[in-house]
Homo-oligomer: A and B are copies of this chain.
Amino acid sequence: MKEVKIIDHSDKKAFLLETAHQLFSENGFDATSVRMIAEKAGMNVAMISYYFGSKEKLFEELLVGKTNYMREQLTAIVENKDLDPWSKIELMIDGYSDRILTSGGSLHKLMMREVSLKQRTEISNLIEKRIMFNLKAVHEIIVEGIKKKVFVHNIDFPMLMSTLIGTLTQTVTSDSMFFRFENVDGKKHTKKIDVNEVSKRVKKHLKRVFARYLLIHPEKYNY
């Protein structure tokens, strides 16, 4: 009697995506060959063209999958009527930080490199589209805060977003580089910087920057 294979064929595809994610994160898009992906995943090279059409298409699919969660999270924050604008900003900062710092920010770095490169236009556009969509949610929060006279009105929104995304990107990019400085209080950073501490620090830092930038009465919060 013939055995029937129950294998879910989408498994292989998913596994290929996960493997690709890992390798792209480590080596970048260019330096990751389809052969590397296939070998690491224990499949045939041709599978990548077969499943995704091309290396680029694989990457695009990877992106869409991985960025969906942030999108939903932000929407939930914006639409929550029980939160005041500043609390929404705080949650937004927490959400962004958590997502970007995930596994060393490798996926985020990968995305930012592609946008910076603007060579694979399809990919760049896709990424830009998704970033923009998310920032629209932040925009809504801020407009709400101004209306409610909680935030100041002279806000350079594009620049503020550069500070938000830029600070996070720089934190994951420069890794522990900047932490090599002894801090201004003269204390050396003796203990190895761990990812949790970084997460806490960047969140606190961004909230302080945002509070002092946005709030009409920042003195109410002890940042």
Contacts and interface: CB of A to CB of B under 8 A. Distances in A.
Interface of A: 26-28, 30-31, 109, 112-113, 115-117, 119, 128, 131-132, 135-136, 139, 142-143, 146, 153-163, 165-171, 173-174, 177-181, 183-185, 201-202, 204-205, 208-209, 212-213, 218
Contacts of A117: 27-28, 31, 113
A163 B163 contact: yes
Given A109-B116, A112-B116, A119-B31, A184 B157 contact: yes
A2 to B, nearest CB: 14
B28 A160 contact: no
A171 B184 contact: no
Consensus secondary structure, chain A interface: helix
B162 A209 contact: no
A161 B132 contact: no
A173 B118 CA distance: 9
Given A168-B166, A201-B159, A209-B213, A132 B180 contact: yes
A169 B166 CA distance: 7
A10 to B, nearest CB: 20
B166 A163 contact: yes
A163 B205 contact: yes
Contact of A165 (B170, B185, B205): B170
